[in-house]
Structure 1
Amino acid sequence: MNRRTDEAPLRARVAADIERPDRLAFGLTGRQLLILAVAGLALYAAWSAVATVVHPLVFLAGAVPVAAMAFLLAVGRRDGAGFDAWIWAALRHRRSPHRLVPAEGPVASGPAWIATTAGPGDRLPLPAPLRLPARGITSDGLIDLGPDGTTGLVAASTLAFGLRTAAEQNGLVGGFARWLHSLDGPTQIVVRAQRVDLTYLADRYLAAAPELRHPALDEAARAHAAFLDDLATQRELLHRQVTVAVRSRRGPHHTAHQVAQAARALGACEVPAQVLDGQDTAIRLAASLDPTAPSGPLTHATTDEGDVW
């Protein structure tokens, strides 16, 4: 059945914060009500203890800053997290070891003659073992997260959405929406932008130009190499890397099935997608630990129109 090409583009409404907790009373969540209730009970207990010896105005002057701090702690947010979570994270960071090293067990102490520059007898605390969330990568490309299950990665490409007709856009949006509604576990889409170095391609063209059979091909190869050098000089080229991470706690077989289903669903939306094996998963994880590193020479790219060298 042919679809009309002049129909209006489909618009899908997506909630800005789908993990927002429920509001129980007065527009406050259970966590916020608990913080305010504890602060109120503490102030009431303090007033009951000093009511006979402290003037009410004096107690009110001291209670207002405490109530204001409790209210700020309850409703204040930064970067999407509440202030109480920030304070709890700061306390855990303060009490946690700050020097971590990769080790299987406890780190052995050094010789007794090693001392710091702070003075005789003062020694730096021993580093603690580094515990990463990922315990290993299987040959199938699944990341073992221990009690949190396993995660599989899917490498996806970008799609020229704006160049499609309204009917084609509606079909792509509908297919992507069906995949989102089919998800029954945590799924994350990570998009990284990396700088692209074209000097490698330009050098390859210049090296291959003398071996071409016709002088016109030689001239065209050198002209294209000059174009790439000029493009790299005048523009800041970026390469986008899209990774879909699918996690499940139902076992490796279920995770593998979910990853394959995600690749098929994206393929139905005309998005080239491929499940990463163990080697490719390790390479992508290693690159994610150094986000500022350049992507290296661009030798091959995949688009919705095919393969481009």
Structure 2
Amino acid sequence: MNRHTDEAPMRARVPADIERPDRLAFGMSGRQLVILAVAGLLLYAAWTAVATVVHPLVFVVGAIPVAAGAFLLAVGRRDGISLDAWLVAALRHRRSPRRLVPVDRPVLPAPAWVATTAGPGDRLPVPAPLRLPAQGVTVDGLIDLGSDGTTGLVAASTVAFGLRTPGEQNSLVAGFARWLHSLDGPAQIVVRAQRVDLTYLADRFLTAAPGLPHPALEDAARAHVAFLDDLAARRELLHRQVTVAVRSRRGGHHAAHTAADAVRALAGCEVPARVLDGSDAAVRLAASLDPTAPPLVLRPHNWR
């Protein structure tokens, strides 16, 4: 018997809270302790200032909501982030301009004689310049992030991991682990599900059916077209698009080298991959920024 079939699959327990901050005291992080300490100091300072004129019981009743709010701010969470960070983000969003335009310079206000509202009163706010993280995409497909470095995109396929033997699964996991250990910069793996439109394949088979050398082949082609139409009508087909983004602060050449290394490492895991050039990178970025894009038209060998 092949020894690979008897090999137990490798398993590793990955904690769900790997990004959880360290607990310093009382099961709380440094940020939580600072919030509670500041609230305690403020309450103590308030009590010191009014101790001679306010009854202690009255002060305790007034301090309870403040202490409860500080505790909620320290330990509360909203949308997966701490409540204080969420409130800061909400305040920043509230104060940020709502109308953004893609310009390279500040937007000049409208002349005083231009009416920007229906009646007297406040004028409409001037649009603010739109500042995107990416400054451009080169011909080689590298994304210029300015001071944050350069990113290369790699398109990868999927692997039928569950159909492999335990030994083959261990080989794939070991190859993937070697690639992760070889990284010297940030990397991100994005898996995006897209709706698939089988119209292209069905029309192609239907057009080629009359030219087949035997009537049985033509009937089989038409039956396959009917199967594709029925499949598209009864099920919502999805195609998984896998993109690997590798970033480097050492310039475009190092980012391109890192992307090429990712392609070679993934090939060792039996994952077909290729570095996206400028046009493909721009198309993939545009598709990822538009979740309501039309369904993907599936073509032969379109594993990207």
TM category, shorter? over 0.9
Which segment drifts farther, 223-232 or 15-24? 15-24
Q: Shift of residue 215 of structure 1?
A: 1.8
* Correspondence for 1:292: 292
Q: Deviations over 1:53-111 (max 9, x none)?
A: 11111111111111111111111112321111111111111211111011111113335
Query: CA contact under 8 A between 1:115 and 1:121: conserved in structure 2?
Result: no
Q: Shift of residue 198 of structure 1?
A: 0.9
* Correspondence for 1:19: 19
Paired with 1:167 and 1:147, the residues of 2 have a C-alpha distance of: 44
Q: Shift of residue 114 of structure 1?
A: 2.3
SS at match of 1:247: strand
Query: CA contact under 8 A between 2:156 and 2:274: conserved in structure 1?
Result: yes
* Correspondence for 1:113: 114
Amino acid at match of 2:301: A
Amino acid at match of 1:255: A
What does 1:1-309 align with in structure 2 at a 5 Å threshold?
3-111=3-111, 112-117=113-118, 119-301=119-301
After superposition, the Cα gap between the structure-2 partners of 1:184 and 1:20, relative to the gap in structure 1 and judged at 3 Å, is: farther
Amino acid at match of 1:183: L
TM-score by structure 1 length? Answer: 0.93
Paired with 1:161 and 1:82, the residues of 2 have a C-alpha distance of: 36
Which segment drifts farther, 44-53 or 101-110? 101-110
Query: CA contact under 8 A between 1:154 and 1:243: conserved in structure 2?
Result: yes
Q: Deviations over 1:147-202 (max 9, x none)?
A: 11111111111100010001101111111122222223211111111111112211
Paired with 2:219 and 2:3, the residues of 1 have a C-alpha distance of: 47
Runs of 4+ in 1 over 6 A off after TM superposition: none
SS at match of 2:72: helix
Paired with 1:126 and 1:289, the residues of 2 have a C-alpha distance of: 25
Amino acid at match of 2:236: E
Query: CA contact under 8 A between 2:109 and 2:126: conserved in structure 1?
Result: yes
Which segment drifts farther, 175-184 or 73-82? 175-184
Query: CA contact under 8 A between 1:161 and 1:169: conserved in structure 2?
Result: yes
Q: Shift of residue 249 of structure 1?
A: 1.4
SS at match of 2:292: coil
Paired with 1:4 and 1:190, the residues of 2 have a C-alpha distance of: 31
CA-based RMSD: 1.7
Paired with 2:197 and 2:4, the residues of 1 have a C-alpha distance of: 43
Paired with 1:3 and 1:173, the residues of 2 have a C-alpha distance of: 18
Query: CA contact under 8 A between 1:154 and 1:259: conserved in structure 2?
Result: yes
Q: Deviations over 1:123-156 (max 9, x none)?
A: 1001001000000111211100111111111111
SS at match of 2:163: coil
TM-score by structure 2 length? Answer: 0.94
SS at match of 1:106: coil
Q: Shift of residue 3 of structure 1?
A: 4.3
Structure 2 stretches lacking a partner, 5+ long: none
Which segment drifts farther, 5-14 or 234-243? 5-14
Structure 1 stretches lacking a partner, 5+ long: none
Paired with 1:169 and 1:75, the residues of 2 have a C-alpha distance of: 41
Q: Shift of residue 302 of structure 1?
A: 5.6
Query: CA contact under 8 A between 2:185 and 2:248: conserved in structure 1?
Result: yes
Q: How many residues are paired up?
A: 302
